[in-house]
Amino acid sequence: MPRASERATSQLKRIGPSGQIALGKEFAGRTAVVEEVEPGVWMVKLGQFIPDSERWLWQRDVQSSLERAEAYAASHPAEASDLDALEQEASSPRLRHSAAG
């Protein structure tokens, strides 16, 4: 795979009156991060956006926990639940007494 410097291209673009630069239709609808490296120098990187409310899912410890959960789910197939038995168990006096503890 060629390095970025080997495949780098340069184009002259004019910044429009509203401050926009057209990158081409192949990039339409994509999300990009635009970093101002220094005044007048920008780096544009295509990527995916992660909402702040979901960013915690990408922390290392959470990823590790999710991987363990996926491994457990893969080795323990889902089984049908007997809802009547669960309801009976939940309403048993023994269970209510221990929960009140």
Taking only the tens place, the pLDDT of each residue in 28-76 is 999 999 999 999 999 999 998 888 999 999 999 999 999 999 999 999 9
Q: What is the pTM of this model?
A: 0.45
Instruction: For residue 12, give the nearest of 2, 22, 4, 3 by alpha carbon.
Output: 22
Share of the chain above pLDDT 90, in %: 66
Residue partners of 66: CB distance under 8 A and separation at least 6 = 57
Element (H, E) at 38: strand 31-38
Strand, helix or coil at 81? Answer: coil
Structure tokens at 48: 């995916």
Distance in angstroms (rounded) separating the CA atoms of residues 23 and 13: 9
What is the DSSP code (8-state) at residue 94?
H
On the question of pLDDT at 2 being above 80, the answer is: no
